[in-house]
Amino acid sequence: MITWMRRNLFRSVTDSLLTVVSATILGIVLVQVFQFVFINGRWEIIQVNLKILLVGRFPDELMYLVGFSILAICFSIASLAGGLERAPNSIQNLPAKLWGLFQRFGLIAATAALLIVLAADFDAVAFGGYVLMSIVAGTLFGRLRRTTALKKLPGWIWVLLNASLPMVLIFITIGQAALEEWGGFLINFYLAVVSITLSFPLGVLLALSRRSSLPLLRWLSTTYIELIRGAPLFVLLLLAGVALEFFIPSSIAPDAIFRAITVFTLFTAAYLAEVIRGGLQSIPKGQAEAGKALGLSTVKITFLITLPQALRNVIPAQIGQFISLFKDTTLAGVALSVFELLNVGSAITKQDDYLGQGLIYETLAFVALLFWVGSYVMSRESQRIEKKLGVGLR
């Protein structure tokens, strides 16, 4: 212990000085944070407005749909994980496995627990229990696939089966509760997921065009990518906010969410294109040449050989792009007045009961917590995937 301290903290005089200074800074910060969170913080505003922060002005009577969607998503993810992941002779004993799971999902679980504590009613605790049950059920269901005859089902049907339940529920939710009423953290997530999914085909198209041997295509895609990459996202959102309706026939009145999704999609597609292009460049030429030797056409080579490998190689970078987009959804709140989490956080401090009391610290801390946990967990998962795939090591 002493040796460790000597080596790491007190190597020399300057070193010791640095240690003292940094320890003091860390100490002060930690004490302040502790005092803020547990002693001085007036968290009532968060507790009262928890629903608005998380789902906006979602109609109360339809909240069960959100609940069911979450349960369905947990179930599907758990069963996909249980079913696809081939665990060979698991020599890890249960405690070690649990520790591994804790490391991976501990933060999310802790945040969920915090939300339940803040909600402070029995329904929230019950819901937490339901989520746990659905995760367990999902894992068991996934195991079923590996052990029973369902093994014979091709992978994509299994995926479709699992994905269909949450999809159906999400469809129903959207149908019942108009998107204008969604808000809070839910809408940040929704914007990010929909935008990145829609931007994917466009991004692939742009990347392929930029690397194509056809000069016109290359020119078109390069112009688009460079134009978008030189433009600030905020200004694009502002432009869409006032000008999008001019570019479509006047019978459609775009609402803020539509505008946001349009801009985010077009914007992310350009960045994704660069990421995918990097991936394509990293594939050795031999792969394409082997494809040619087999007599495959260029299109087939691209879609069967090069592109899948390229996409797999840049999964971490794609996840990085998603995290970026997830954080950028806050811009939709200021540019288009979408009722997203940060916007809600600033707005609730102006409610009659809380105006002028300086509660902005508490609300911003809560908003920061949610965003931080989301981004941190996603980036850690992407690092894990990177390690698993052995990207860059081969």
Partner 1 sequence: MSPQLSTPPKVPFFRDTRTLKWVFQIAALLAVFALLYWLYGNYQENVAKSSIQTDLRFLDNPAYFTIPGSDLDQSQPVRDAFVVGFLNTLRVAIIGVALATVLGTLVGIARLSKNFMVRTLGTVYVELVRNLPLLLLLTFMNLAVVLQTFPRIENAWLPLDLFVISNRGIAIPWFIGSSTQLVIGILSAALLAFVVARIRIKRADITGKQDRAWLYGILTFLALVVLIWLLFGYGWELPYVDGRGTTGGLRLDPSFFALLASLVIYTSSHIAEIVRGSILAVPRGQGEAADAIALSSSQKMRLVILPQAFRIAMPALGNQYLNLIKNSSLGATISYFELTQIAQITVGNGSPAVPAFSLTLLVYLAISLVTSLVVNYFNRKLALVER
Partner 2 sequence: MLAVASAAALFLAGCASTEAEPTTSATTDATTNPDTGADNGSILDSVIAAGVVRCGTRDALPGFAVLNDAGEHVGFDSDFCRVIAAAVLGDATAVEMVDLETADRFTALQSGSIDVLVRNTTWTATRDGSEGATFLQPTFYDGQGMMVTANSGYAKISDMNGAIVCVAKGTTTEGNAALESSRLGLDWEIRSFDETDLILEAFLAGQCDGWSSDVSQLTGLRSAYPDGSAALTILPEVFSKEPLAPAVLDGDTAWAQAVNWAVLATIQAEEFGITSANVDSIRSSTEDVGILRFLGAEVPGSEGAAILDPNLSLPTDFAYQVVKQVGNYGEIFARNLTPLGLERGLNSLWNDGGILYAPPYR
Short-list 69, 72, 139, 128, CA closest to 101:
139
Within 8 A by CB and 6+ apart from 260, the residues are 191, 237, 240, 329, 332, 336, 338
Q: How far is the CB of 49 from partner 2 (least distance, A)?
A: 15
- Using CB distances below 5 to 8 A depending on partner kind, what does residue 41 bind out of partner 2, partner 1, none? none
Binders in 81-110 for partner 2, by CB under 8 A: 84
Q: How many CB atoms lie within 10 A of CB 249?
A: 6
Residue with smaller CB distance to partner 2, 80 or 115: 80
Interface mask toward partner 2 for 36-65; x: CB under 8 A: ---------------------x--------
Q: Does 161 bind partner 2 (CB under 8 A)?
A: no
The residues, any chain, with a CB within 8 Å of residue 92's CB and separated by 6 or more, are 100
For residue 362, the minimal CB distance to partner 2 (Å) is: 15
102: Cα separation from own chain's centroid: 19
Largest CA distance in the chain: 76
From 96, 126, 133, 174, residue interacting with partner 2 (rule: CB under 8 A): 174
Contact 308, 329 (CB under 8 A): no
Q: Are 66 and 58 in contact (CB under 8 A)?
A: yes
> Which residues, 234 to 263, sit near partner 2 by CB under 8 A?
238, 241-243, 245-246, 250-255, 257-258, 261
In the bound complex, what is the minimum distance in angstroms from residue 48's beta carbon to partner 1?
20
6 binds, among partner 1, partner 2, none (CB under 5 to 8 A by kind): none
Cβ closer to partner 2: 71 or 196?
A: 196
For the chain, helix, strand, coil in percent to 5 are 80, 0, 20
Nearer to partner 1, 80 or 331 (CB): 331
Task: Name the burial class of residue 161, with classes exposed (0-12), middle (13-18) and buried (19+) by CB atoms within 10 angstroms of its CB.
Answer: middle
- Tokens standing for 216? 């016109």
Distance of closest approach, residue 200 Cβ to partner 2, in angstroms: 5
Q: Indicate whether 356 belongs to the interface with partner 2 (CB under 8 A).
A: yes
Q: How far is the CB of 304 from partner 1 (least distance, A)?
A: 19
Asked if 375 contacts 107 with a C-beta cutoff of 8 angstroms, the reply is no
Between 107 and 311, CB nearer to partner 2 = 311
Q: HSE-up of 330 (CA within 13 Å, CB side)?
A: 15
User: Which residue's CB is nearer to partner 1, number 20 or number 81?
Assistant: 20
Residue whose entry in the numeric block shows the structure tokens 């970078």: 317
SS3 state of residue 340: strand
| Residue of 97, 350, 380, 384 that binds partner 2 (CB under 8 A) | 350
By C-beta, is 149 or 253 nearer to partner 2?
253
- Provide the binding-site residues for partner 1, judged by CB under 8 A: 7-9, 11, 15, 18-19, 22-23, 25-26, 213-217, 220, 227, 229-236, 238-239, 242-243, 245-250, 323, 327-328, 330-331, 333-334, 342, 346, 358, 360-361, 364, 367-368, 371-372, 375-376, 379
**Given the structure tokens 């790491």, which residue do they identify?**
8
Question: Rounded to 5 degrees, what angle do the CA atoms 214, 219, 225 make?
Answer: 125
Decide if residue 28 touches partner 2 (CB under 8 A).
no
Q: What are phi and psi of 254, to 5 degrees?
A: -70, 135
Beta bridge partners of 184: 340
Nearest to 115 by CA among 54, 74, 206, 173: 54
Quick one: 155 or 358, whose CB is closer to partner 1? Answer: 358
Which parts of this chain interact with partner 2 (CB under 8 A)? 57, 80, 84, 155-156, 159-160, 163, 167, 170-171, 174-175, 178-180, 193-194, 197-198, 200-201, 238, 241-243, 245-246, 250-255, 257-258, 261, 308, 311-312, 334, 337, 346-347, 350, 352, 355-356
